[in-house]
Amino acid sequence: MADSSLSKTRLFFIFFLFLLFLFCLLLRLGFLQIWKSSKYQSLARNQSRAIIEMQPARGRIVDSKGRDLALDIRLDSLYAVSREIKNKDAVSAALSRILGIGRGEIFNRLDRDKLFVWVARKISPAKAEAVKRLKIEELEFVKESQRVYPKGDTACHLVGFTDIDNEGLEGIELHYNSFLKGVPGWRLAQKDAKRRELVSREVEMVSPVDGYNIHLAIDEVIQSLAEKELAEVCKKFNARGGSAIVLDPGTGDILAMANFPLYDLNHSKKASAEEKRNRAVTDIFEPGSVFKTFTLSSIVENKAFSLNEKFDCENGSWAVAGKVLHDHTRHGVMPFREIIEKSSNIGTVKGALRLGGEKLYQTIRLFGFGERTGIGLAGEVGGIVPNPKNWSRSSIINIPIGQGVAVTSLQLAAAFGAIANNGILMKPRILTRIDDADGKVVQDFQPETVRRVISKETALQVRTVLESVVSRGTGKKAAVPGFKAAGKTGTAQKILPNGTYSHDQFVASFAGFVPYDEPRVVIAVSVDEPHPVYYGGDVAAPAFSRIASGVLSYWQIDKTEAPREVIRPGASLVKTSGLRAAAVE
């Protein structure tokens, strides 16, 4: 009896222990699943869910025909979970061989107690594949957008470039960065224990908005042509630099904005600040004789005197206003139209004295000199045109012949555009529209009339005189075979740091348009410090002729007259081989 009672007690005691144990388990379960449920739910959620940022595609930059000048491609960027790498030496050695980065540098990056360390960003597909073949789990990839420029150095100063984070640093990339960059999006992703993404029933995402596309007015072919001719002339005459602008006078469209030297946008880090400058809008220079065009325009517009009126050019030397004014060639008495044709400084100044400084200044300002054109490019300057209130005694001698004022190539092109456009100044247009990835227009840029500068009759008279500059005057080398071109040469001394004019540093320029009677294109070429030859008629005028020929040929504009003898230094014959190639668009 006593034995059975003892057994029952022991059984009950064991049962009670198990019950206690069960009760503790239940308590623990309740504690974990009820009391601490939110904490563990949150841990589980964090472990399985991840917010994935979705990068937008940066907008493209295209020319007037939709040809890509800048676009994005996606490349692999390599990162390491450095904390978990066991054999950092071996991994560094292997990566160094593939990536071409110093072994020590890679080791320093891996030797950090971190879960995320960049090893190399935006590497080529071949290198990425080679790294993947190493099959090192701690090395992972993420796709990043890389900005690329398929045309290399074409329109480099205009397009600009971005940094490694795709933020614009120069040119259109900088100025319109807010339009190009887009808006990033995100989505909530669920991952399993092996970090594989699951398709979630709960779709939480904000789609990225791709950047807008920028449509430029430039034509890639004309741009390339202008750059090629400018580079040739700068190299031939050992120039420091140069710029050439091709413009449609009717709309103000910039068809080409070429500068020299060029640089490859895909290797922008290698370029110097000098190479990256958009000289066409940032550099000012004294225009010299090309500015006589506007003195002429003012004289005709204000009816100061007839262009047939004669002036004495003093045989090339004239003492006036405390200085001696020289002509590069001696002339006697000539009608004013011939004074411009032969580019006589003395005759031009005499005409300007008759006109008066105030009227001359007004015309100069009407042509847009002394203020920015508002083209919308970073770094544009307005030039210098002193107010008559601030003129010195010799200003009336200097300004009519393009000294004592400073202009940009763009201003010169736009002003000649006004003469070509029957006296109406158009605002230079570099962008035609901005649209989204679907082609829907976001912003439209229509041709904009600034103002009427001179009357149509004045413009026609000025064009006639400028035509004679090319056919009979200093601009013979600007002649375009089969067409009548018009324009003006310029050879301006540069100012030295001590304020005096240099005798061996010049800016050679030529600005004009073709055909002279119904101008289709305006071209302004300026070359900085050509030597040993430095006259505008010898340096810039031939470049104008070649660019104009190329453009008219590209546009298939029929010749308006029979070919005549043209002075073309350095022309060579090409032989026909009979080989036919496919037409290039």
- 273 vs 270: CA distance, rounded Å: 10
**Four-residue CA torsion sign, 410, 412, 418, 419:** negative
DSSP 195: -
Of the pair 62, 407, the CB lying nearest other proteins is at 62
**Residue from 137, 213, 219 nearest 182 by CA:** 213
Q: How many Cβ atoms are within 10 Å of 352's Cβ, its own excluded?
A: 23
Of the pair 104, 150, the CB lying nearest other proteins is at 150
Of the pair 50, 333, the CB lying nearest other proteins is at 50
Min dist. Cβ of residue 197 to other proteins (A): 5
Tell me the three state secondary structure of residue 430: coil
Exposure string over 539-574, b if 16+ CB within 10 A, otherwise e: bbbbbbbbbbbbbbeeeeeeeeeeeeeeeeeeeeee
DSSP 392: -
Min dist. Cβ of residue 498 to other proteins (A): 41
Cα distances (angstroms) measured from residue 51 to each of 79, 187, 195: 18, 6, 13
Min dist. Cβ of residue 208 to other proteins (A): 13
Copy the structure tokens of residue 417: 């555009």
Residues 6+ apart with CB under 8 A from 246: 222, 226, 254, 255, 256, 257, 258, 521, 522, 523, 547, 551
**Four-residue CA torsion sign, 210, 211, 216, 220:** negative
Min dist. Cβ of residue 581 to other proteins (A): 4
Residues 6+ apart with CB under 8 A from 510: 290, 475, 478, 487, 488, 489, 490, 524, 525, 536, 537, 540, 541, 543, 544
Residues 6+ apart with CB under 8 A from 553: none
Of the pair 46, 576, the CB lying nearest other proteins is at 576
Of the pair 270, 575, the CB lying nearest other proteins is at 575
Min dist. Cβ of residue 25 to other proteins (A): 25
Of the pair 86, 575, the CB lying nearest other proteins is at 575
Of the pair 54, 93, the CB lying nearest other proteins is at 54
Min dist. Cβ of residue 143 to other proteins (A): 7
- 195 vs 201: CA distance, rounded Å: 18
Of the pair 116, 554, the CB lying nearest other proteins is at 554
| Interacting residues with other proteins (CB under 8 A) | 64-65, 67-68, 71-74, 125, 143, 148, 150-154, 192, 196-199, 220-221, 224-225, 227-228, 550, 553-558, 572-577, 579-585
Min dist. Cβ of residue 57 to other proteins (A): 9
Min dist. Cβ of residue 420 to other proteins (A): 17
Pairing of strands 310-312, 139-148: unpaired
Of the pair 142, 496, the CB lying nearest other proteins is at 142
Min dist. Cβ of residue 255 to other proteins (A): 10
